[in-house]
């Protein structure tokens, strides 16, 4: 028995087995989670398909009201959801952590309720009338990662519901519990079958992506898996939105007064222990102030409390799972062997939990794995540059492009350079800030399509032109 259940067709589903969800802070079992199967995916897709006609025929204002009701439910269960996220994912209650994630989930749901996609009249004269309509794409399969499990679920589900789609979501097996609870709460107000949830690993995900009754896949996860999802979706020409990995560069312009920027620089790199798609993952610093920036940033980092996220004194929790922890260890060791200097951190304690210390790597080079590949951990490599042109070229040299940032005393000058970064969002004197009305997505291998605002809503629709001759 589990306190958590899959929701299919508005009801808890019967499952044959469970798997344990582990708390990364102490490796204890948070809960037994019901295991999804391909058969349960079939049931969930059938439920979503059955609910589609009625849900898509509801008035626009009714669906907006439903989203507002969901936002209220998230707020009413804020504390429960926030603690659950910390226990299954690790992020701290304090700082931009689990409370921030739940608050953001309610805020995004509310903002999505306020959006609309009215018909657009292209021509209306004596000859005829041409109207462009946006119709719901149909049944949406949503697949989510383990780093921000609840808010990413909301980013997928809310716009889909807003335009009249129905949903089957599959969360990451590392962090399924907050999504199970979220969908259970949504089903308190939604008609049965509108949102369904099935757990499982990549095989269950593949079955969902390949399902002929699914019309669209929205996937957030690694670029490697994203490519497989796109290939699977091609069989029935499903629409896809892919929000994939990044390896965001930041450039500190020569002569920048670093002291007032340290706090924002810190959160840009280390939010959620660096396990954020659009976190700053490689920082380019001019040689004229390289040593000073290394020293000031390292001193700042060393003061930030890391520990069990449930303790409100801690601002950063553990790495979220063993697989990711091992990856971070390997990347830092590779940098050390290749001649980098570990200025702070770099030595995990031999204790329960997947705690990796906040780590600053100096004398990093573009050839090191920690720079070339997405390390996704509490580690920041600092790279030396001589000219801004060279820094921009190196920042743009990878095959990913989610975010990027430029830091400087003159924000307008920095914004001009930021505009030359090859990425979906270019920040100035900050990194990673999102807004529900600012479209978010990646270029190159960081993704296809965007989320948020009207551009995000359109991703859940197909275009129909009604062309009337008079």
- 153-192: which residues touch ligand NAD (CB under 6 A)? 170, 172-173
Catalytic residue among 277, 422, 445, 451: 277
Q: How far apart are CA 53 and CA 57, in angstroms?
A: 6
Distances (CA, A) of 23 to 85, 92, 311: 10, 12, 14
Tokens of 230: 């796109």
In three-state secondary structure terms, 217 is strand
Is 432 a binding residue for ligand NAD by CB under 6 A? The answer is no
Which residue is it, tokens 């001193």?
Answer: 299
Answer for the pair 167, 161: CB distance below 8 angstroms, yes or no. Answer: yes
Residue with tokens 């269950």: 204
We find the least distance from the C-beta atom of residue 381 to ligand NAD, in angstroms, to be 17
d(CA 245, CA 248): 9
Under a CB-based contact definition with an 8 Å cutoff, are residues 285 and 385 in contact? yes
Tokens 């209220």: give the residue: 72
Check binding of 86 to ligand NAD (CB under 6 A): no
228 sits near ligand NAD (criterion: CB under 6 A): yes
Is residue 320 involved in binding ligand NAD (CB under 6 A)?
no
Q: Does 277 bind ligand NAD (CB under 6 A)?
A: yes
Per CB under 6 A, does 229 bind ligand NAD?
A: yes
Smallest distance from the beta carbon of 438 to ligand NAD, in angstroms?
13
Cβ nearer to ligand NAD, comparing 55 with 174: 174
Among 154, 182, 244, 457, binds ligand NAD (CB under 6 A): 244
Contacts (CB under 6 A) with ligand NAD, residues 361-380 = 374, 376
Q: Considering the complex, what minimum distance in angstroms separates the CB of residue 21 from ligand NAD?
A: 13
List the one residue from 90, 149, 246, 346 that touches ligand NAD (CB under 6 A).
246
H or E element that contains 124? strand 120-124
Q: Which residue is nearest to ligand NAD (CB)?
A: 205
Q: Is the Cβ–Cβ distance between 244 and 445 less than 8 Å?
A: yes
H-only helix segments in 338-427: 369-372, 388-395, 411-418
> With respect to ligand NAD, which residue has the nearer C-beta, 359 or 425?
425
Residues in a beta bridge with 426 = 404
Q: Is 277 noted as a catalytic residue in this protein?
A: yes
Is 243 annotated in the active site? Answer: yes
Q: Which residues are catalytic?
A: 243, 277
What residues line the site for ligand NAD (CB under 6 A)? 143-147, 152, 170, 172-173, 201-202, 205-206, 209, 220-222, 225, 228-229, 243-246, 277, 374, 376, 402, 442, 447
């Amino acid at each position: 028995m589990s306190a958590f259940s899959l929701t299919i067709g508005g009801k808890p589903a019967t499952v044959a087995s469970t798997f344990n969800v582990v708390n990364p802070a102490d490796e204890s079992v948070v809960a037994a989670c019901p295991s999804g199967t391909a058969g349960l995916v079939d049931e969930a897709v059938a439920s979503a398909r059955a609910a589609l006609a009625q849900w898509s025929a509801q008035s626009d204002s009714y669906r907006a009201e439903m989203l507002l009701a969901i936002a209220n439910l998230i707020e009413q269960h804020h504390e429960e959801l926030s603690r659950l996220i910390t226990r299954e994912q690790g992020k701290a209650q304090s700082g931009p952590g689990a409370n921030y994630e739940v608050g953001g989930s309610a805020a995004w749901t509310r903002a999505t309720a306020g959006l609309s996609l009215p018909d657009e009249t292209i021509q209306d004269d004596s000859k005829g009338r041409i109207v462009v309509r946006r119709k719901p794409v149909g049944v949406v399969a949503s697949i989510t990662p383990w780093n921000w499990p609840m808010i990413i679920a909301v980013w997928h589900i809310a716009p889909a519901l807003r335009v009249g789609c129905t949903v089957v979501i599959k969360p990451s097996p590392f962090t399924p519990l907050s999504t199970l609870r979220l969908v259970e709460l949504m089903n308190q107000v939604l008609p049965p079958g509108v949102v369904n949830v099935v757990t499982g690993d990549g095989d269950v995900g593949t079955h969902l992506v390949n399902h002929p009754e699914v019309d669209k896949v929205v996937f957030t996860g690694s670029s490697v898996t994203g490519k497989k999802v796109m290939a699977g979706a091609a069989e029935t020409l499903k629409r896809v939105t892919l929000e994939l990995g990044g390896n965001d560069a930041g450039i500190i312009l020569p002569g920048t007064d670093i002291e007032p920027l340290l706090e924002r620089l810190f959160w840009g790199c280390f939010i959620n222990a660096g396990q954020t798609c659009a976190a700053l993952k490689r920082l380019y610093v001019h040689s004229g102030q390289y040593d000073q920036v290394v020293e000031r940033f390292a001193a700042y980092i060393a003061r930030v409390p890391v520990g069990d996220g449930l303790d409100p004194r801690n601002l950063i929790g553990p790495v979220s799972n063993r697989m990711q922890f091992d990856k971070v260890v390997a990347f830092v060791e590779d940098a050390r062997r290749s001649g980098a200097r570990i200025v702070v951190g770099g030595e995990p304690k031999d204790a329960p939990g997947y705690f990796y210390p906040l780590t600053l790597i100096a004398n990093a080079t573009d050839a090191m794995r920690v720079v070339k590949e997405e390390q996704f951990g509490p580690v920041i490599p600092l790279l030396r540059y001589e000219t801004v042109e060279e820094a921009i070229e190196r920042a743009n040299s990878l095959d990913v492009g989610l975010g990027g940032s430029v830091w400087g005393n003159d924000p307008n000058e920095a914004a001009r350079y930021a505009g030359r970064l090859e990425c979906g969002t270019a920040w100035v004197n900050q990194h990673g800030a999102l807004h529900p009305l600012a479209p978010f997505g990646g270029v190159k291998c960081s993704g296809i399509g965007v989320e948020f605002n009207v551009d995000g809503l359109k991703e859940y629709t197909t275009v129909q032109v009604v062309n009337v001759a008079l």
